[in-house]
């Protein structure tokens, strides 16, 4: 069976049923309703078990990402009576990755299989949130036991303020973002999506969340005069998106079908560790040329080595990715040996390099993320804007 899906983030779609009932305004222009009403014999409100495709994954030999389900909601109450049959198929298809997207995340826990444990490696569980109306679903999906958790912010038709603690944000492995497509009039309408909403979402999500911007939607395509009618061509997008180096895909699976890495950052979606071979981030393989140090610099560096080691001993967890140990210090305001943070530091001769108040314990991966995403780092308080440090005298001897 060939892989067939036109959806960019999956290989195939599998529908255990066809039909659904709308949950809220996020469902307003539901694709299934549009499609089903478009001259077919199906009644969209009736949830009917599929026949010929119910066992489709068993017939797909090649390991595939399978979107489960595009024409219904896998956790719809009408599927309760045969969902276990679907779980059996998923259990027997370890070679595939099942991407289950639901607008009913509050029902997930009750309807997981008995041997689910902390989740199966071959299942991603996600929910859709297109506006602030769907905020509760963010909290609900965070409560679910799963190895891979995601949110689809599509169609995004209002600002969604993530406003979560970092301990919650880092548990979101993947985020799909997209504007709505459609026409100005008739049944196939669309709601506008704004660039600022997409940018804010990207900024709010943590370094360990892989971002997949699927399309900008019809409104932005028109506004920006894009050739692609639905704004789906990444080459046409504004620089602000491209500069964030968005992953186009999470297409990596290891031997048992587990998604392990995000090819853009090289960070494992499961454990958050960096895989240097996979990372597109240019890491300094070769040491930088060593500057000749003055005696004063050498003295400062010797002091710094001791201060930093003690600091890391007291602060063993990475402030950016708390699941990782801290192995180095990030200096929130730089590492000058002739500049001071304030008068208190200047009176005591504590330059920026030695000022522990500006230290942040970080893992190598966390440090890379701060350097890679300066605006986000500033927003999170990981980096101080040096221009606002009134007492800084000089940056000339930055290390
Ligand atoms: S939950 Fe999904 S399939 Fe069901 S009506 Fe809403 S958008 Fe459509």
User: Which of 132, 138, 79, 78 has the alpha carbon at shortest distance from 103?
Assistant: 138
Chain segment 175-187, per-residue pLDDT in tens: 999 999 988 887 7
Q: Ligand 1 within 6 A of 23 CB?
A: yes
Atom of ligand 1 nearest to the CA of 20: 4
Using the mean position of ligand 1's atoms as its centre, give its distance from the Cα of residue 3 in Å.
23
Question: Could you tell me the mean pLDDT of each successive run of 10 residues in the chain, 399 residues long?
Answer: 67 94 94 73 88 94 89 97 96 90 97 92 93 94 91 95 76 88 83 91 76 90 90 79 42 38 46 43 43 68 83 90 88 84 78 88 86 82 62 44
Using the mean position of ligand 1's atoms as its centre, give its distance from the Cα of residue 153 in Å.
14
Q: What φ, ψ does residue 332 adopt, rounded to 5°?
A: -65, -20
- Please give the model's pTM, rounded to 2 decimal places: 0.65
Distance CA 335, CA 73 (A): 53
Atom of ligand 1 nearest to the CA of 23: 6
Domain definitions of the chain by residue range: 2-250, 295-388
The residue contributing the CA closest to ligand 1 atom 2 is 73
Question: In CATH, which of 1.10.286, 3.20.20, 3.30.700, 1.10.3470 is domain 2-250?
Answer: 3.20.20
**Predicted pLDDT at 388:** 42
Q: Ligand 1 within 6 A of 203 CB?
A: no
Chain segment 144-162, per-residue pLDDT in tens: 998 888 999 999 999 998 8
Q: Ligand 1 within 6 A of 30 CB?
A: yes
* DSSP per position, 241-272: HHTT---S----B-TTS-B-B-TTT-BBTTT-
**Predicted pLDDT at 339:** 82
Chain segment 60-79, per-residue pLDDT in tens: 988 888 999 899 999 999 99
Q: Ligand 1 within 6 A of 268 CB?
A: no
- Beta partners for residue 175, in sequence order: 151, 211
CA distances (Å), 24 to each of 135, 140, 144, 263, in order?
12, 16, 21, 35
Query: Quick one: DSSP state of residue 336?
Result: -
Atom of ligand 1 nearest to the CA of 44: 5
């Amino acid at each position: 069976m060939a892989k067939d899906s036109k959806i960019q983030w999956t290989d195939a779609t599998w529908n255990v049923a066809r039909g659904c009932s709308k949950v809220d305004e996020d469902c307003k222009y539901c694709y299934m309703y549009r499609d089903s009403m478009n001259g077919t014999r199906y009644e969209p409100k009736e949830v009917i078990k599929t026949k010929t495709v119910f066992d489709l994954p068993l017939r797909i030999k090649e390991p595939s990402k399978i979107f489960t389900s595009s024409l219904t909601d896998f956790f719809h109450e009408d599927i309760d009576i045969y969902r276990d049959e679907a779980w059996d198929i998923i259990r027997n298809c370890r070679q595939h990755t099942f991407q289950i997207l639901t607008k009913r995340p509050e029902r997930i826990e009750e309807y997981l299989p008995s041997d689910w444990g902390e989740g199966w490696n071959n299942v991603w569980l996600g929910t859709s949130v297109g506006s602030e109306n769907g905020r509760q679903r963010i909290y609900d999906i965070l409560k679910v036991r799963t190895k891979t958790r995601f949110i689809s912010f599509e169609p995004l038709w209002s600002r969604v303020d993530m406003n979560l603690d970092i301990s919650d944000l880092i548990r979101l492995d993947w985020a799909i973002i997209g504007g709505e497509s459609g026409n100005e009039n008739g049944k196939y309408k669309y709601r506008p999506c704004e660039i600022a909403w997409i940018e804010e979402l990207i900024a709010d999500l943590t370094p360990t969340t892989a971002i997949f911007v699927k399309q900008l939607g019809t409104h932005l395509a028109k506004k920006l005069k894009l050739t692609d009618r639905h704004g789906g061509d990444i080459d046409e997008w504004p620089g602000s998106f491209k500069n964030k180096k968005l992953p186009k895909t999470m297409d990596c699976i290891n031997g048992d079908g587990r998604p392990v890495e995000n090819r853009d950052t090289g960070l494992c979606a499961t454990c958050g560790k960096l895989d240097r071979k996979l990372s597109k981030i240019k890491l300094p393989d070769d040491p930088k040329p060593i500057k000749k140090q003055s005696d004063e610099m050498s003295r400062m560096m010797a002091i710094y080595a001791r201060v930093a080691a003690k600091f890391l001993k007291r602060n063993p967890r990475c402030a950016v990715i708390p699941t990782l140990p801290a192995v180095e210090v990030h200096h929130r305001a730089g590492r000058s040996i002739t500049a001071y943070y304030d008068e208190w530091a200047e009176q005591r001769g504590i330059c920026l390099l030695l000022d522990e108040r500006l230290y942040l314990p970080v893992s190598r991966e966390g440090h890379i993320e701060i350097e890679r995403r300066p605006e986000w780092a500033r927003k999170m308080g990981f980096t101080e804007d040096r221009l606002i440090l009134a007492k800084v005298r000089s940056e000339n001897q930055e290390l």
